[in-house]
Amino acid sequence: MSYVTRFAPSPTGPLHLGHAFSALTAFNRARAQGGTMLLRIEDIDRDRCKPHWETLIFEDLRWLGLAWPEKVMRQSDRLPAYRAALDRLIAMELCYPCRCTRGDIRAALSAPQEGAPVQGPDGLVYPGTCRSRRMSEADATDAIRLDIAAAMDRLPRDPHFTETGPQNPGTHELTRDNAINGIGDIVLARRDIGTSYHLSVVADDSAQGITEVVRGADLFEATYIHILLQDLLALPRPAYHHHDLVRDETGKRLAKRDDARAIRHYRATGHTPQDVRRLAGL
């Protein structure tokens, strides 16, 4: 099987040194194995994603010397595929509609009988307020959640994945206990966009034939959600390579609003692609 990876930016701002590091790491790993790096534009969040940021992504990546097959996947073109994946999980009776706002969730978690709220890879572990609601009662104002205990019980064995990155190389397993207490009932479909980052990324990695996901260490914990969804949907499992994050001099990870480290800033101030590779730590 030939090596296929992807770089999957969201067009919500200018790419910075951290994105350069991520894209170059993916590209170099693909090149070293005679494989391919695909590009995917993660633009499901219509309010935050803008066409001019997408144009800048292409310009920045080309300037860095990266190349990719012409056909770029765009998540906004893939809503029917995400709906099909969601329908499959609904047909498996693993989903329920949820009308809780963030405020409702915080209020439920502050009740005296609840322990300290747990922050999982999909936000606060959901207290289960809407779990007894049926899909037949769902309306357009509801989000759709996965009943994670039911989902884990449906699998013949606990999901696991192989990490090839520098920090935690080896096999990692999602146990029922960690799924319930550390992740909880994740949102599969937000009420505004009808899908979620997790569901979309899992559908796309499979559709693009990704053999190794290369991305930042900040997404390591989210991988447990992705392998669970892959097993429920009977999708193939890529390997995962979570690279270290590029940080500023105070140790903070870079943000899109930090324009001083934007690739476009380095381009405009006479730096070379080689300078940017060095600044990103390559």
Q: Give burial (CB, 10 Å; 0-12/13-18/19+) of 178.
A: middle
C-beta of residue 131 within 8 angstroms of C-beta of residue 185: yes
Amino acid at 133: R
Residue 123: strand pairing partners: 120, 121
CB of 282 to ligand GLU, least distance (A): 18
CB of 262 to ligand GLU, least distance (A): 14
Q: Which is nearer to ligand GLU, 13 or 97 (CB)?
A: 13
CA gap 223, 167 in Å, rounded: 14
Cβ neighbours for 52, distance < 8 A, ≥ 6 positions apart? none
| Residue 198 burial (CB count, 10 A) | 19
Q: Which residues bind ligand GLU (CB under 6 A)?
A: 8-10, 42, 201, 215, 219
Q: Which is nearer to ligand GLU, 47 or 139 (CB)?
A: 47
CB of 142 to ligand GLU, least distance (A): 25
CA gap 49, 55 in Å, rounded: 11
Residue 243 backbone zone (phi > 0: left; psi -120 to 50: alpha; other: beta): beta
C-beta of residue 183 within 8 angstroms of C-beta of residue 122: yes
CB of 42 to ligand GLU, least distance (A): 4
CB of 223 to ligand GLU, least distance (A): 9
Q: Which is nearer to ligand GLU, 26 or 189 (CB)?
A: 26
Q: Which is nearer to ligand GLU, 16 or 215 (CB)?
A: 215
Q: Which is nearer to ligand GLU, 14 or 127 (CB)?
A: 14
C-beta of residue 225 within 8 angstroms of C-beta of residue 198: yes
Radius of gyration of the chain (CA): 20
CB of 258 to ligand GLU, least distance (A): 15
Cβ neighbours for 71, distance < 8 A, ≥ 6 positions apart? none
CB of 240 to ligand GLU, least distance (A): 10
Q: Which is nearer to ligand GLU, 110 or 167 (CB)?
A: 167
Residue 184 backbone zone (phi > 0: left; psi -120 to 50: alpha; other: beta): left
Q: Which is nearer to ligand GLU, 60 or 142 (CB)?
A: 60
